[in-house]
């Protein structure tokens, strides 16, 4: 007999539900047995199924949180090495707020939203610090760039 989906392949294997001939290329192993792709009805996990409304909520929550925390960040009197701790906290807060806004859903696009929100927070921090220093010096501070990378990593990890 020949596979229903791959007519060039000979097989004796049948779907355990509908009885259609299937080859090893198209079979889906389930707890009940080998099934054809139609009978297996593979669905995406609900935690990774994110609708457009959830993306809009994630963007709004991320940008609002990033704006508020970015406005507070330059007024925290800790600098240098301790800016790592501040950025880690901001990254955690942004990741957590984005996660809560989408009911703890996960996905690559949500990770991008959280990472971008962290960059927005850093940019707002640099703009508010610019009157005291030049914007380039404020934006390219090595310690704070490392802190930004750490904040992005933590924000993204909240949505994995």
Question: Which has the higher per-residue pLDDT, 32 or 60?
Answer: 60
User: pLDDT for 128-140, tens place per residue?
Assistant: 887 766 767 767 7
Of the candidates 55, 114, 54, 58, which has an alpha carbon nearest to the alpha carbon of residue 90?
A: 114
44 by Cβ neighbours in 10 Å (0-12 / 13-18 / 19+) ranks as exposed
- Determine the average pLDDT of the residues in 2-18: 88
pTM higher than the cut 0.75: no
pLDDT at 113 over 70: yes
User: pLDDT for 41-55, tens place per residue?
Assistant: 777 778 888 999 999
Q: State the pLDDT confidence band at 59, using cuts at 50, 70 and 90.
A: very high
């Amino acid at each position: 007999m020949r596979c229903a989906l791959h007519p060039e392949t000979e097989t004796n294997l049948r779907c355990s539900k509908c009885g259609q001939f299937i080859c090893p290329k198209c079979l889906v192993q389930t707890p009940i047995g080998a099934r054809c792709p139609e009978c297996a009805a593979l669905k995406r996990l609900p935690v990774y199924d994110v609708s457009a409304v959830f993306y809009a909520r994630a963007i709004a929550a991320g940008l609002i949180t990033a704006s508020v925390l970015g406005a507070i960040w330059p007024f925290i009197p800790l600098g240098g090495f301790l800016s790592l701790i501040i950025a880690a906290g901001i990254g955690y807060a942004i990741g957590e707020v984005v996660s809560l806004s989408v009911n703890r859903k996960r996905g690559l696009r949500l990770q991008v939203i959280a990472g971008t929100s962290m960059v927005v927070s850093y940019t707002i921090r640099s703009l508010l610090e610019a009157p005291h220093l030049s914007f380039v010096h404020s934006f390219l501070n090595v310690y704070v760039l490392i802190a930004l990378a750490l904040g992005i990593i933590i924000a993204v990890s909240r949505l994995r």
